[in-house]
Amino acid sequence: MPSDDRLMRLDEAGRVLEWHRAAREAFGRSAEETVGRTVASLLRGGPDGRVGPDVLRPVLVRPMLTDGTLVWEVSAAPDAASGHDLAVLRAIFTQSPVGLHVLDDRLRIVRVNTASHTLRDTAEDRLLGRVFSRAYGLADPEQEEAAARRVLETGRAELNRIVRVVPAAAGREHSVYSVSYVRLENARGDVLGLVASAIDMTERERALWRLSVVDEVRRRVGERLDVIAACHEFVDAVVPRFSGIAVVEVVEEVVRGEAPPLVPVGREVPLRRAAFRGVVSAYPVGEVRRLPYGTPFSRVLTDLRPRLVRVDEDSLWLGADPPRADAIRASGAHSLIVAPLALRGEALGVVSFYRHREEEPFEEADVALAADVCAHAALCIDNARRYARERTIAATVQRRLLPQRPAVPDTVELSHLHLSASEGGGAWFDVIGMAGSRTALVVGEVSGHGMAAATTMGQLRTVIHSLVSLDLAPDELVARLSDTAARLAAERAALPAGDPLHREPLTASCLIAVYDPIDLTCTFVRAGLADPVVVPPGGDPAVVSVPAGPLLAGPGNAPFPATTIDLPAGSTLAIGTRALAREVLAPAAPLRALFDEHAHGPLPDLADAMAYAVGDEQRSQDALMLFARTAALPAERVFGRALPPGPEAAPFARAEARRRLRAWGVDQEAAFTTELIVSELVGNAVRYGIPPLNLRLICNGVLTCEVSDAAMSAPHLKHARTSDETGRGLFIVATLADAWGTRYQAEGKTVWAQQSLHDRP
């Protein structure tokens, strides 16, 4: 046998005579420790006499005669570990960073490697002989002991069990280890014990935990574009994952959507307690107050530097804020991080993180984490602030563009229901007086929201007012409005591709109803909105079937057909945007029965009933409904006469007008002006028109003179020269009247002029 395999020589009594190098490497004992001692004493194990598994090795023993004396030569058996194996084992037990523990079948530590000493900074002699789960102070020793016993019984290894270790000293953080158990067996398959390995995972777990905190904040904060909502989302994300208590205080100007102050923030700047989650709140959520000077919270707003602050009875800053000090004591808080909410050098607010009771105190590494999550929260809060500001501007613009106090004529009673969208919308209504005591009722809707919708709505509303002043027929008016909307849509489409409006095509809808209180008729033209509903006095509500024209600015050149119906005095008319019409006006609408019930009552009560039933749910688009109740113009306020076709028509018309104005009590000055206007209008009709000729006077707050003939030619205003004997008629009318115009019928036209009355009859 090669000499390298020799371990030792023994005498007949079993005492060591020679102790070779292989024995030193295999058993870890020197010749001085072994020569002269019996093998039994060397291999004897612990107090119970059991032999440890680290000294059990297969060997080959053979007798030899040396100088006539019988000796026993012990050498490594052929299947024993090679020199490389022993070197590997020696390296693992002396240099491996993984803590290795050899456990007996009672889970006691019988041998450890050098790395095990540093896991809890404990000497080896204090570990040997102790149960593994108790020696290291595992947070749940019973669970780990049960896992180890399963490995002993089944032989199936338990690998990579994440366990927490209770800190040896108060105020220190828990450690985290990855523990694995593997069963030890000898060559015969006898169970000798376990090998328990432990790897310190504290830093890795702490890094993963920090990433999880940041991910949770990024996932949950910023879902809603509202400053207060973002603050609540933030405290919900960090409690209890990062701290047991969190308080968010935001500069009041930021909550209102205004620009945040620059740093350092003045003492007079108030902050709102926007969100709180924890045990005891020092101040009610929503309270606005100034931060006391000389506290970490006010200091953070002077330099935007996060701070790890001591919290104990000796902290001087507690005296500057007694309510907060009382809340800290009541909640058992012992560790505090104060971090700013800041962006681009502007202070949005301050966040306070507290750990209390059994929670581990904050460390310096946690300050950087607090700063990271607060930076994301600040970005979300600033986005919400900017959105709130834009929403406020859009809502203000929309309110200013809507009719503030519309001049409602005596022949129409109005009420409306306007449910604003959460982001501002483009729904509007108008009530416009027209010549002949007629009234135009307009309901419109622009797609989109915010400033774009509000400004487009304002542009279309201005166009409608201009077109109504021209006294166009309703279908012609809507056609011209659609032309304007098409030009606005083309301008939007021509914007640069990076402009957000470029990706939002302009669409709008509109319905115009023109009510005539003399003829008791109403003419409807619809461009995209739902059909109106009419409730006759004492009758049942009925949907008016109005042919649907295309959307404003829609494709093609489809016409906008008009529908005229008889509308008795006392009728109720309801016109709504598409969303609200589906809820209220459609035959199968959820609120149709409620509308029918209140349709004959006072209009304000009808609008209130609809508002209560619709509720305050968040809407993506504006919803608007206009209610109108009609009245007839008294017959004594309207005067009409057929005129002769010749030159005698002018004096005849003046005489008839004079008598009627005297009956109405019109003062002499206004009556003289009216006679002159009548004379000029009739003279033009006789000269350029076609019989039959008719005169109509209407006195309803303003005095309207109308002269009709069968010709379709348009009157033309011109400035006559000094040498001209004619051509001044319409110029005189335009000078004397407040307004004048021409209205075309199916056959013929009407030229009218209006003048205000100083004293109403």
237 with 377, same domain?
Answer: yes
Cα angle for residues 700, 705, 711 (degrees, 5° grid): 135
pLDDT for the residue numbered 575: 94
pLDDT of residue 113: 75
Q: pTM score > 0.75 for this model?
A: no
Q: How far is the C-alpha of 639 from the C-alpha of 756, rounded, in Å?
A: 17
Q: How far apart are the first and last CA of the chain?
A: 142
Q: Of 9-18, 438-447, 728-737, which gets the smallest average pLDDT?
A: 728-737
Q: pLDDT digit string (tens) for 492-551? A: 888 887 777 777 788 889 999 999 999 999 999 999 889 999 999 989 999 999 998 888
C-alpha radius of gyration, the chain, whole number: 48
**CATH label of the domain that carries residue 587:** 3.60.40.10
- Chosen domain end from 596, 630, 664: 630
Q: Are residues 186 and 295 in the same domain?
A: no
- Domain extent, residue 143, equals 114-200
- Give the pLDDT score at 490: 86
Looking at the structure of the chain, the number of domains it has is: 5
Does residue 605 register a pLDDT over 60? yes
Residues 307 and 377 both lie in one domain: yes
Average of per-residue pLDDT across 281-291: 91
Last residue of a domain, one of 630, 650, 676: 630
Q: What is the pLDDT of residue 438?
A: 93
Query: In the prediction, which pLDDT does 379 show?
Result: 94
Q: Is 441 helix (H, G, I), strand (E, B) or coil?
A: strand
Tens-digit pLDDT profile for residues 132-191: 877 777 778 888 888 888 988 888 988 888 888 776 555 456 778 888 888 888 777 788
For the chain, what percent of residues have pLDDT higher than 90?
Answer: 33
Same domain, 707 and 623: no
Q: Is the pLDDT of residue 724 over 60?
A: no
Please report which confidence band the pLDDT of residue 53 belongs to, taking 50, 70 and 90 as the band edges: very low
Q: Are residues 172 and 228 in the same domain?
A: no
CATH number, residue 10: 3.30.450.20
pLDDT of residue 403: 66
Instruction: Indicate whether 675 belongs to any domain.
Output: yes
Same domain assignment for residues 690 and 672: yes
One domain for residues 598 and 651: no
Q: Are 331 and 251 part of one and the same domain?
A: yes
Q: Taking Cα atoms as reference points, which of 175, 184, 180, 183 lies closest to residue 197?
A: 180
Of the listed ranges 164-173, 280-289, 456-465, 564-573, the least confidently predicted one is: 164-173
Q: Are residues 575 and 654 in the same domain?
A: no
The yes-or-no verdict on residue 357 having pLDDT over 60 is yes
pLDDT tens digits along 386-398: 888 877 777 777 6
pLDDT of residue 634: 92
Residue 402 falls within a domain, yes or no? Answer: no
pLDDT > 60? residue 721: no
Q: Predicted confidence band at 412 (pLDDT cuts at 50, 70, 90)?
A: very high
Q: What is the side-by-side strand order in the sheet with 638-643?
A: 638-643, 693-699, 702-709, 749-756, 739-744
197-211, 396-410, 625-639, 728-742: least confidently modelled range? 396-410
Backbone angles phi, psi at 70, to 5 degrees: -80, 125
Q: For the ranges 68-72, 89-93, 369-373, 459-463, which has the lowest average pLDDT? A: 89-93
Domain membership of residue 87 (yes or no) is no
Q: What is the CATH number of the domain that holds 752?
A: 3.30.565.10
Within a domain: 296 = yes
pLDDT score of 52 more than 80? no
Rounded average pLDDT over 112-125: 63
Own/partner pairs for 642-645, CB < 8 Å, 24+ apart? 642/692, 642/693, 642/694, 642/695, 643/682, 643/685, 643/692, 643/693, 643/694, 643/695, 643/707, 644/693, 645/686, 645/691, 645/692, 645/693
Q: Which of 335, 390, 660, 656 is nearest to 500 (CA)?
A: 390
> Per residue in 606-625, pLDDT tens?
999 988 888 766 666 778 89
Q: Are residues 271 and 186 in the same domain?
A: no
Q: From CA 334, how far away is CA 357, in angstroms rounded? A: 7
pLDDT value for 50:
45
pLDDT at 48: 47
Average pLDDT for 46-60 = 54
CB atoms within 10 A of CB 20: 19
**Rounded to an integer, what distance in angstroms lies between the CA atom of residue 144 and that of residue 134?**
10
Query: Taking the C-alpha atoms of 278, 282, 286 and 291 in order, what is their torsion angle to the nearest 10 degrees?
Result: -120
**From CA 197, how far away is CA 101, in angstroms rounded?**
6
How far apart are alpha carbons 140 and 145 in whole angstroms?
9
Q: Are residues 387 and 438 in the same domain?
A: no
Are 716 and 746 in the same domain? yes
195-229 pLDDT, tens digit per residue, is: 888 888 878 878 888 898 999 999 999 888 889 99
Kindly tell me if the per-residue pLDDT of 598 is higher than 70: yes
- pLDDT, the chain, mean: 83
How far apart (Å, rounded) are the C-alpha atoms in residues 332 and 199?
Answer: 34
The model's confidence at residue 337, banded by pLDDT at 50, 70 and 90, is very high
pLDDT of residue 235: 94
What is the pLDDT at residue 79? 53
